[in-house]
């Protein structure tokens, strides 16, 4: 049998077969670093000053519980291993454990076999890992200590109990701007407006040149990880070849600087635009680095503000970028903390149909969906409008089970951890919580997609036709949805107009809409 990861274990000066038993009797303190907490600067200095042995766990159970994108597994594991090597270089001893079980189970064995050992860990962001660690802490009290998770900017105690119908992201965002002072002049927003969203909905001109994101060539550690992913997770979602993401903080900072100098200036204008064959456009594609700690939210906001002050990027772009990090991202986390675990099973509309098969293989004649899914299969990434207005919109319009869509987003996206993905999908995108996070269901017909993209020109369907075989399915599916879920439209001032518009259609048109929608939904290949 071949040795697993020989180069990596050589780099961290550890025998790859080393088990928990090999902890020396005089070693009394270990600090557990989870795969999404890869930044020692965030850990309390008084703990680091004692130079505890760092325990890093590679959990097969975590990798296996859903069929995570192969690039996502490669990214998580490679970033974790690079972090371990950097810690060794910084003078820490690192114990890298591999387990077929959960993180908590590996640590349970470590503590059982080494009764002199005390363990400290930071609060995990994801619910299941947190629950398992809480049980470990109880079982091994007082040997296990918990420290607060400091990878976020919002004070949970201040906001968590505000999450309820009527409390909106915009209110939260303004409070966060005030408390951090980001883009503020005294107690007023810089430039006089809190939000420049109205300016950030431009269609991309055909001639607009899009700067490429630098590719990071896989080094020996990443190549070793990729070989192991190919061997052990060959049937997982997505394509492994072509991995070019950063795997160290230094590389991620380089990509952040490249974004600030080359793409931030136009990020705002074309934030919502879509273009065939251009999955990244002017987006930062930094969320994967933020979500495992390689980059920190505060430093990215500060870099963007500095770019504004130096005249590198205009206010609408900088404010839009900061709203994503300081507003949207932090709000997702607060919502998750307030709503778990009940929100996992939320299904406001009661949709039960399996998710369409195309989400796995990208095989569809709908050009906008084909493009979005191809990007996810290839890169584990698509930007927020594809997530919201194409993939989630279509799932809702075809009455697909929100739990299945939620799980798909969780395993298919390279930046997806449950704390951020679940609120985005169940709360915002498909209105499964019945309006606690979003003020209205985010659904649309083909017109919106046509306005924001160049997909419709390459599509087998005609965006101008409303019903029938050649008509854009988004058109009749949208009106069918408005009618079927009319309660949520009729009662909501912002969208009640749509229910009224449907009612004003002729009976013949209504029948055509229903017939087209029914035929499409019935014939859709599902998982």
Q: Does 154 engage in binding with ligand SF4 (CB under 6 A)?
A: no
CB of 371 to ligand SF4, least distance (A): 8
Yes or no: say if 170 and 310 are a contact pair by the CB < 8 Å rule. no
* Nearest partner of 72 among 233, 261, 189, judged by Cα: 233
Q: Is the CB of 103 or the CB of 394 nearer to ligand SF4?
A: 394
CB of 464 to ligand SF4, least distance (A): 9
Terminal alpha carbon distance of the chain? 37
The helix, strand and coil proportions of the chain, stated in percent and rounded to the nearest 5, come to 50, 5, 40
Sign of the four-CA dihedral 477, 423, 317, 378: negative
Q: Is the CB of 246 or the CB of 482 nearer to ligand SF4?
A: 482
Q: Which of 68, 108, 383, 455 binds ligand SF4 (CB under 6 A)?
A: 455
Q: Does 136 engage in binding with ligand SF4 (CB under 6 A)?
A: no
Near ligand SF4 by CB under 6 A, which window of 30-38, 85-93, 459-467, 515-523? 459-467
Pairing of strands 94-99, 184-185: unpaired
Q: Is the CB of 449 or the CB of 524 nearer to ligand SF4?
A: 449
Q: CA 213, CA 1: separation in Å to the nearest integer?
A: 39
CB of 454 to ligand SF4, least distance (A): 9
CB of 298 to ligand SF4, least distance (A): 39
Q: Which of 92, 359, 381, 461 binds ligand SF4 (CB under 6 A)?
A: 461
Q: Does 456 engage in binding with ligand SF4 (CB under 6 A)?
A: yes
Q: Does 477 engage in binding with ligand SF4 (CB under 6 A)?
A: no
Give the DSSP per-residue string, 8-41. HHHHTT--TT--GGGS-TT--EEEEE-TT---GG
**DSSP H/E element including 97:** strand 94-99
Q: Is the CB of 326 or the CB of 456 nearer to ligand SF4?
A: 456
Q: CA 506, CA 502: separation in Å to the nearest integer?
A: 9
Backbone phi and psi for residue 57, each to the nearest 5 degrees, phi listed first = -120, 135
How far is residue 456 CA from its own chain's centroid? Answer: 27
Q: What region does 213 belong to: left with phi over 0, alpha with psi -120 to 50, or beta?
A: beta
Near ligand SF4 by CB under 6 A, which window of 79-87, 355-363, 450-458, 507-515? 450-458
Yes or no: say if 30 and 95 are a contact pair by the CB < 8 Å rule. yes
Pairing of strands 188-189, 184-185: antiparallel
Q: Is the CB of 35 or the CB of 466 nearer to ligand SF4?
A: 466
Q: Which of 151, 321, 474, 479 binds ligand SF4 (CB under 6 A)?
A: 474
Q: Does 307 engage in binding with ligand SF4 (CB under 6 A)?
A: no
Q: Does 443 engage in binding with ligand SF4 (CB under 6 A)?
A: no
Number of residues that bind ligand SF4 (CB under 6 A): 14
Yes or no: say if 233 and 162 are a contact pair by the CB < 8 Å rule. no
CB of 364 to ligand SF4, least distance (A): 9
Q: Is the CB of 222 or the CB of 398 nearer to ligand SF4?
A: 398
* Residue 300: partners with Cβ closer than 8 Å, 6 or more residues away: 256, 284, 286, 290, 321, 325
Q: Does 524 engage in binding with ligand SF4 (CB under 6 A)?
A: no
Q: Is the CB of 63 or the CB of 452 nearer to ligand SF4?
A: 452
Q: Does 446 engage in binding with ligand SF4 (CB under 6 A)?
A: yes
Structure tokens at 144: 């296990």
Q: Does 450 engage in binding with ligand SF4 (CB under 6 A)?
A: yes
CB of 236 to ligand SF4, least distance (A): 28
Give the DSSP per-residue string, 152-193. -SS-HHHHGGG-STT--HHHHHHHHHHHH-TTEETTEEGGG-
Between residue 168 and residue 207, which ones bind ligand SF4 under the rule CB under 6 A? none
Q: Does 472 engage in binding with ligand SF4 (CB under 6 A)?
A: yes
Q: Is the CB of 422 or the CB of 459 nearer to ligand SF4?
A: 459
Q: CA 315, CA 190: separation in Å to the nearest integer?
A: 8
Q: Does 463 engage in binding with ligand SF4 (CB under 6 A)?
A: yes
CB of 455 to ligand SF4, least distance (A): 4
Between residue 311 and residue 330, which ones bind ligand SF4 under the rule CB under 6 A? none
Between residue 349 and residue 408, which ones bind ligand SF4 under the rule CB under 6 A? 366-368
Q: CA 70, CA 240: separation in Å to the nearest integer?
A: 5
Q: CA 200, CA 69: separation in Å to the nearest integer?
A: 31
Near ligand SF4 by CB under 6 A, which window of 57-65, 245-253, 403-411, 470-478? 470-478
CB of 278 to ligand SF4, least distance (A): 15
* Nearest partner of 287 among 470, 527, 478, 72, judged by Cα: 72
CB of 282 to ligand SF4, least distance (A): 21
Near ligand SF4 by CB under 6 A, which window of 123-131, 222-230, 322-330, 446-454? 446-454
Q: Is the CB of 144 or the CB of 366 nearer to ligand SF4?
A: 366
Placement of tokens 């949805």 in the chain: 481
CB of 201 to ligand SF4, least distance (A): 17
* Nearest partner of 409 among 395, 210, 448, 174, judged by Cα: 395
Residues forming the site for ligand SF4 (CB under 6 A):
366-368, 446, 449-450, 455-456, 459, 461, 463, 472-474
């Amino acid at each position: 049998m071949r040795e697993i990861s020989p180069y990596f274990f050589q780099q961290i000066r550890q025998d790859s077969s080393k088990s928990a038993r090999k902890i020396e009797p005089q070693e009394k303190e270990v600090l557990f670093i989870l795969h999404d907490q890869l930044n020692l600067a965030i850990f309390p200095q008084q703990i680091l000053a004692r130079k505890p042995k760092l325990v890093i766990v590679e959990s097969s159970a975590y990798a296996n519980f859903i069929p995570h994108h192969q690039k996502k597994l490669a990214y998580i594991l490679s970033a974790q291993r690079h972090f371990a090597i950097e810690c060794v270089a910084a003078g820490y001893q690192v114990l890298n454990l591999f387990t077929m079980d959960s993180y908590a189970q590996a640590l349970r064995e470590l503590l059982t076999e080494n009764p002199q050992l005390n363990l400290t860990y930071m609060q995990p962001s994801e619910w299941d890992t947190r629950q398992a660690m809480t049980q470990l802490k109880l079982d091994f009290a007082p040997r296990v200590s918990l420290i607060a998770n400091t990878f976020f900017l919002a004070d949970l105690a201040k906001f968590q109990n505000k999450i309820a119908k009527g409390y909106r992201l915009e209110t939260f965002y303004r409070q966060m701007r005030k408390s951090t002072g980001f883009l503020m002049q005294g107690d007023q927003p810089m430039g006089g407006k809190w939000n420049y969203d109205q300016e950030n909905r431009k269609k991309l001109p055909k001639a607009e040149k899009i700067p490429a994101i630098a590719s990071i060539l896989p080094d020996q550690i990443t190549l070793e990880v990729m070989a192991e992913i190919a061997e052990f997770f060959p049937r997982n979602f997505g394509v492994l070849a072509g991995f070019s993401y950063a795997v160290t903080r230094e590389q991620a900072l380089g990509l952040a600087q490249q974004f600030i100098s080359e793409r931030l200036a136009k990020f705002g204008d074309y934030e919502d635009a879509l273009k065939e064959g251009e999955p990244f456009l002017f987006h930062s594609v930094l969320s994967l680095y933020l979500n495992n700690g390689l980059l920190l939210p505060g430093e990215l906001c500060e870099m963007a503000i500095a770019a504004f002050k130096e005249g590198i990027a205009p206010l609408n772009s900088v404010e839009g970028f900061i709203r994503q990090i300081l507003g949207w991202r932090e709000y997702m986390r607060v919502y998750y903390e307030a709503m778990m675990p009940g929100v996992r099973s939320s299904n406001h509309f009661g949709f039960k149909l399996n998710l369409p098969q195309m989400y796995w293989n990208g095989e569809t004649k709908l050009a906008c969906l084909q493009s979005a899914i191809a990007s996810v299969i290839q890169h584990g990434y698509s930007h927020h409008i594809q997530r919201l207005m194409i993939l989630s919109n279509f799932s809702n319009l075809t009455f697909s089970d929100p739990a299945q869509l939620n799980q798909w987003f969780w395993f298919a996206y390279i930046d997806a951890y449950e704390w951020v993905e679940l609120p985005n999908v169940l709360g915002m995108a498909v209105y499964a919580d019945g309006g606690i996070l979003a003020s209205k269901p985010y659904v649309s017909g083909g017109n919106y997609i046509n306005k924001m993209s160049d997909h419709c020109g390459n599509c087998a369907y005609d965006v101008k036709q409303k019903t029938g075989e050649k008509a854009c399915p988004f058109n009749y599916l949208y009106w069918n949805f408005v009618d079927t879920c009319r309660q949520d439209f009729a009662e909501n001032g912002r969208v009640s107009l749509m229910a009224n518009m449907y009612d004003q259609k002729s009976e013949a048109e209504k029948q055509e809409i229903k017939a087209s929608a029914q035929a499409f939904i019935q014939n859709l290949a599902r998982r």
